[in-house]
Every structure is written in C-alpha cells, then in structure tokens.
Amino acid sequence: MAPFVIACVEPHLVPIQFVFIRLLNRVIDSVKHDVAHTFSAVFLSQPNVFTHQRICFEEGDIALSPAKDIMLAIRNKCQVNSEDWSSKDKNFGNKNAPYAVFNALDYMLKDSLERLRTMRENISSVKIGLQGYTCENNYTEHTVTLRYLCLEGKLGAALWLRRKMVQKGILPDVFTHNHIVNGLCKIGLVEKADWLIREMLEFGPHPSCATFNNLIKAYCVVNTVDKALSLFSTMANIGIQPNRITCNILVHSLCKKGLLKEAKKMLEDILHDDDDKDVPDLVTSTILMDNYFKNGETIEALSFWNEMLQKCTKVDVVAYNVLINGFCKSQQTKFAYGIACEMLKKGLLPDAFTYNSLIGALCKKGNTNEACYIFQVMSKMGIMPDQISYKIMIQGLCFKGDIARAKELLRCMLDNLMVPKPLIWNLIIDFYGRCRDVSNAFFTRDQMLAFGVRPNVFTYNALVVALLKSGDIYDACSLKEEMPLKGLFPDVVTYNLLIGAACNLGRVGFALQLHGEMLQRGYEPDLITYTELLKGFCIRGKMKEAEELYAKILKSGLLTDHVPVQILFSMYCKRKDPVVAFNFYQDWLASKGRSYPY
C-alpha cells in the first residue's frame, strides 16, 4: 500500500505521506495487540474453544501464535464457531461464546475506525499547515529576490518573477512594487513605470506616496514637468496625500525652468503637521532661496532666509552654504564672511562646499593670496580639499599667471594620491600654450599619460594653440591627424584654430580645404569659422568672395556681433571707399534691428 500511496501523490507531498504511513503502521500494531490481548482472555475463559483451536492448528500443521497472525486466528475462530453451530450440539459448550467473540470484534473494529478517522483529520490539518507555511515561505523568498534584482538593475528578471507570482495568485506588496518602479525610473524606462502604476491602481496593491514620488522625480529629470504635475493632481484624485518630498521635487524642477512664481505657490501647498503649520519647510525654502540668488533677486532670497529664522526653523549647513554661495556670486564677499562666522557661532562646522564658495569668489576677484590662505585654513580645520577645491585654485592661479604655485598644488594632489581630472591638467597645458611654452605643454601631457589620465579633445586643442602660437602650423595639423589614432576626433574649435592660422598666413586655399574637411565630417561651421574665412579673403584682397561670404552670414542668421562688419568696414576704409563701408554698416544695423525688434 505504501508504494501505491507514494506514487499517486504529488512530489512535494511525499513527506506527508510518509508521516501517514508511519502512523497507520502504528495503529495496525496497536490493533493487533488489542485483538491478541482480548482473544487470549476469551480463549482462557473458554477452554474447549481454545483446545479445539489448538487442535485445528495442529491438524493443519500450522504453528502460529495469535499475536503474529491475529487476523488468521480471527477467521479460524469464526469458522470453528460456524461449524459448531451446524453440529448437533447447538450450545458448543457455552451458548454465549459466539456472541462474546463477535461483540469484542465489533468493538475493536469500531475503535479502530474511530482512530483512523481522527488520524486522517489530524493528517489533513498538518498538511494544510505545512502548505500554508510553504506558501508563506515562498512569498517571502520571492519578494526578497525581486527587490534584490531591482537593486542590481536586473529589471527584466524582476518583471518576469513578478509576472510568475501574479500567475500563481501571489501579489507582491507595495514596498516591492516601489522597488520595481524606482528601478525602471533609474534606467530611464519612465513609460514602463507609468504602466506599472496604472496596473497597480487597477489590480493592486494600491500605490503609496513613495510610488508616485519615484515617477514624479523621473519625469522631472527628463524635463517633462507637465506630466509630473499631472501625476501630482492624480494623487489627490485617488486619495493619496502628497508629502513634503513630493512638493520639494516639483519645486526644484519648476525652479530649474525659471518658474519661480509657480514654485513659490507650490511651497504654500506643502503639507504641514498639525503642530507646525506656521513653520516653513526647510528644504523647499532653501531651494527657492538658491534659485532667487541665481536669478540675481537677492532681496527675495533674503526674505526666505529671514522667514526661516523668525519662525524658528532649525537651519542646517546646507541652508548656510546656499546663503554664502549667493553672496559670493553677487561679489559680496564681506557678507559671505559674516555668514560663515555666524555659522561657526551656532556650532555648525563649514564643509568643503563652504570653503569652495569663498575660494571661488576670491579667485574671481583676482585675490589669489587670500584664496590660498583660505585653502590652508580649510586643511587645518580637518577638511581635506577635493577636486573642486584644487580646480578652483589652479584655475585662479593660471589666470593670474602664477604657474609656479599652480604646479605646486598639482604636486600636492599627486603626493596625496589624488589623481587630477583631465580638466586640471588642461588648465596648466592651456597656460603653457598661451605663453608659447611648447616644451612644458607637451611635458605636462606626457606626465598626464604617466598617471593614467587619458587626454581629451580639449587637451589636444590646448596643444594646437601652443603650436600655433609658436608659428608651427604643420605640427598643429599633424596633431590633428594624430587624434583619430587615439580614439578622438577634432571638433569645431580645432578646425577654427587651424582655419584662423591658415588665414593669418594668407593661405586661404588651405583654409578652404580645412573648411571642406569640416563639412565632410558633419560639423556645422559657426560664426567664428566664417569670420576667419572672411578675414582671409580680405587679407588676400578677394573682396568679391568676402562680400558673398558676408551675404551668406546674413542669410544664415549667425551674425550676432560686429566683428565681420568691422573687418569689412576697416578694409574698405583702407581702400578709400567709405561709401561701401557705410553701406555695410547700415546693413548690419538693419539685420540687428530684425533680430531684436524690441
């Protein structure tokens, strides 16, 4: 029976059947023991029956005890009593013997059946419990796996696992769905995330505020604020209350688009707690204050700052940094210093952003000595300068012409195992290029390669400038040809530098050849390109070609400054033809009026 039962059940239920078989064997052994014990008592009370039974066993050459084969003994006992009933002696020694035997058998059978029924009910309850436990265990395992796949960026596998769970009637919770939505938004599948949220609204689980926040942020990142605002309205329509994070995301996006009025109105819609209704939101106020500073509206920015202080909002380091950076950008360095001192008095330690703002403002004013002092104070305060700090200082020193201190800072970066980014190397190479120091420019490029930093297009453009400044146009063109071998391609700036150098040398044909190569590679010439060509035509005295090129510039709408007109005006004045020069000037004024009608 055991193999039959095991073969008929499902594979995942085999352990339960083993439990059933083990319990069934125990019941059968118990029945055997009870029947043996009962019949032994009956046989002892009926000596004739026992004697006759023993004689029957001996006559059949069977030597079995009642305990070993109790079912056979019961069958033989019934047969003996049946034979005795048909004999002439109807009493069989004792007339109540048959009734006693069958009554005992009937009682034992009923008791065994009752035990089997109870056992079957218990096994069913255990089976249901095990299945429930297994289902719950599988649900937990699947949801954990699904979240892990989302964190690893394996969204295809995560969506497949979710679909399999739904097909089996197991629906992941909203927290797990938030992982999927966030993962889809991170890799740019915003439409897929939108579809998933709509499916959640229809079939469940009901999305939370965090679900919509992920999608709203994704729409703001791709600059589709209209859809983000539409989702904001949808949240209110379906009964999901937006929180401060929702409004902060929208305020930040509206400020990026320059919609400060709409952002300020969004601030009024931020949900406050019952005890803090009059307290402004710190993050939102900081975002608005920063954007007012960027637009030059210092008074409006300071009004947000005063409102935060008056209403006892706990101002953090980020808010102070925004205020200091705003004063630095508006060249009000004294106020920035005052805010930094106030920040220290309140126990808030400045960070790298604070010092970078101060250093940048000082470098813009050309006060590199004070900037270097702040840079040293930064290190003494236990705040290590970062790449931005070094970039600001090296850029300021290069513009000031202090290349010695700039290289000293570069050496400090290397000593501190901080490999500079290409921009920092390019600043020093560009300085050497403008100073016509070709050897040091290329030495810095080689040092850059030695530290594993790959040069970019700006690096090669700086080297081209260095070669052109020294009058070496041939090596500059060779450097242009070398760029594709390094996996780089010349850009519009590269061609403009070479075209300008060729025109200055009077080699207009070579300049036109470079212009054709530029068009062949798919680059669109800009105003600088046409201006250099126009200058080359004028130098060579090809005024007809210069006038045609000027007409082309007017037609393209690229004319935004006075340089091309000034070149033609000066050339016709030198040729003693002021009327033509004045006509060009009038045409330029007319084109400028069409471009700026107001």
Of 458 and 265, more confident = 458
The kind and range of the H/E element at 436 are none
Give the residue with greater pLDDT, 85 vs 465. 465
Of 551 and 515, the structure prediction assigns the larger pLDDT to 515
How large is the average pLDDT for residues 398-406?
A: 91
Which CATH superfamily does the domain covering 491-598 fall into?
Tetratricopeptide repeat domain (1.25.40.10)
Question: Has residue 277 got a pLDDT over 60?
Answer: no
The whole-number pLDDT of residue 564 equals 81
- At 273 the pLDDT is 45
305-310, long-range: CB < 8 A, 24+ apart: 307/280, 308/280, 308/282
pLDDT tens across 335-355, in order? 998 999 988 888 888 899 999
Structural contact between residues 515 and 500, judged by C-beta atoms closer than 8 angstroms: no
User: 425 or 290: which carries more pLDDT confidence?
Assistant: 425
At 429 the pLDDT is: 94
Please check the confidence at residue 395 and state whether its pLDDT lies above 80.
Answer: yes
Other beta carbons within 10 Å of 244: 16
**Other C-beta atoms within 10 Å of 299: how many?**
7
For the ranges 73-77, 298-302, 319-323, 500-504, which has the lowest average pLDDT?
73-77
What's the mean pLDDT in 45-67?
A: 41
- What radius of gyration, in Å, describes the C-alpha atoms of the chain? 47
**Predicted local confidence at residue 308, as pLDDT:** 80
Dist. CA 119–CA 97, nearest whole Å: 33
**335/313 Cα distance (integer angstroms):** 21
The pLDDT value recorded for residue 456 is 93
- pLDDT at res. 30: 62
Six-digit token string for 284: 């939102």
More confident residue, 243 or 500: 500
What mean pLDDT do residues 235-260 have?
Answer: 79
Of 435, 466, 463, 465, nearest to 449 by C-alpha is 463
Is the confidence at residue 552, as pLDDT, over 80?
A: yes
Q: What pLDDT band is residue 51 in, cutting at 50, 70 and 90?
A: very low
Residues 6+ apart with CB under 8 A from 410: 390, 394, 420, 424, 428
Residue 353's pLDDT is what?
93
Backbone φ and ψ for 102, nearest 5 degrees, come out as -70, -30
Per the listing, tokens 């990026």 go with: 256
Give the pLDDT band of residue 311 (cuts 50, 70, 90): confident
pLDDT for 202:
85
In which residue ranges of the chain is CATH 1.25.40.10 found? 491-598
Cis peptide before 205 (omega within 30 of 0): yes
Lowest mean pLDDT among 108-122, 124-138, 387-401, 430-444: 124-138
The conformational region for residue 62 under phi > 0 = left, psi -120 to 50 = alpha, else beta, is: beta
pLDDT at 285: 79
Structure tokens that stand for 448 in this block: 């850059």
Confidence category of residue 514, pLDDT binned at 50, 70, 90:
very high
Q: Where are the alpha helices (DSSP H) in 238-386?
A: 244-256, 260-268, 282-294, 298-310, 317-329, 333-345, 352-364, 368-380
Is residue 494 within 8 Å of 488, Cβ to Cβ? Answer: no
What one-letter code names the amino acid at 198?
R
Average pLDDT over residues 427-444: 92
- Comparing CA positions, the residue from 259, 317, 318, 269 lying closest to residue 292 is 259
Which has more pLDDT, 37 or 561?
561
245 residue type, one letter = I
Give me the chain's average pLDDT, please. 77
- Dihedral sign, Cα of residue 272, residue 278, residue 283, residue 288: positive
What's the half-sphere exposure (Cβ side, CA atoms, 13 Å) at 316? 7
Lowest mean per-residue pLDDT among 27-41, 72-86, 464-478: 72-86
Q: Could you tell me the pLDDT band of residue 49, with boundaries at 50, 70 and 90?
A: very low
Question: Rounded to two decimals, what is the model's pTM?
Answer: 0.62
Confidence check: pLDDT of 165 > 60: yes
DSSP letters spanning 449-516: HHTTPPP-HHHHHHHHHHHHHTT-HHHHHHHHHHGGGGT----HHHHHHHHHHHHHTT-HHHHHHHHH
Confidence of residue 67 (pLDDT cuts 50, 70, 90): very low
pLDDT recorded at residue 271: 46
